[in-house]
Amino acid sequence: MSAAYANATFNNYLDTILKSRLQRKAKTIVMSSLQFLAVDIALRYAYLNVPNKDTIEPVYDVGFQVTLYIGAAYVVLLAGFIFMHATCVLKTTNMQTKSNVEKAYENTNIFPVIDALLELPFPFLFKGILWYLPYFFWIICLGLITVGALFFHFTSVILSAEMISTLTAAALLLYQITSDFSEYWVQSRNMESTDDEVTAKNEA
């Protein structure tokens, strides 16, 4: 079975169980996480075959590899968490995100890349149950990117241009995944009835 076929099959499976607008946001996060894992694994194997690794300090060699493992573990846990939440906990029947929250994200999403930075205050501003969770994931994400950049600085002399490009793509994917999770979480904290009879926050 090819990787492309497996990816398409899994994508179709997600389509059958993640149907609402917010659930599709969760699907995007899961698929981005799979992309990150593919990049992470490719980096891991490419690094194993890098020549002249003995020219750098062992601590940087080990640190670089450990960072790749932690990054993989991070996206697996986040993707697993959001998949379970979107399928088992999230209320979708006759529910929608509050209009003021939707409008806030519409205003920031017109600015690619920096939209995540503009949205950092949103979990605090709109709150809800466990509103601080995105900040916990942002700390992990930025910590991984910072530590990864540090080890990259000390190992870059032995890395190929292709590996450097792949590392940059991995960092951007990690940033995107965490940003999308934050948006999903804030919106899922601020749901209201589409019947306009009852307005209530998602208790999940």
200 falls within a domain: no
Between 69 and 16, residue with greater pLDDT: 69
53 falls within a domain: yes
125 falls within a domain: yes
Give the domain range for residue 56: 3-193
Number of domains in the chain: 1
Contact 85, 204 (CB under 8 A): yes
pLDDT, position 198: 45
181 falls within a domain: yes
Check pLDDT > 90 for residue 160.
Answer: no
Check: pTM over 0.95? Answer yes or no.
no
177 falls within a domain: yes
What average pLDDT does range 102-114 have in this prediction? 92
Contact 68, 40 (CB under 8 A): yes
- The number of CA neighbours under 13 Å toward the Cβ of 167 is 26
137 falls within a domain: yes
Distance, in Å, from the CA atom of 118 to the CA atom of 19, rounded to the nearest integer, reads: 28
Distances (CA, A) of 106 to 95, 103, 118, 150, 202: 19, 5, 12, 35, 21
What average pLDDT does range 139-153 have in this prediction? 91
pLDDT, position 201: 46
Share of the chain above pLDDT 90, in %: 47
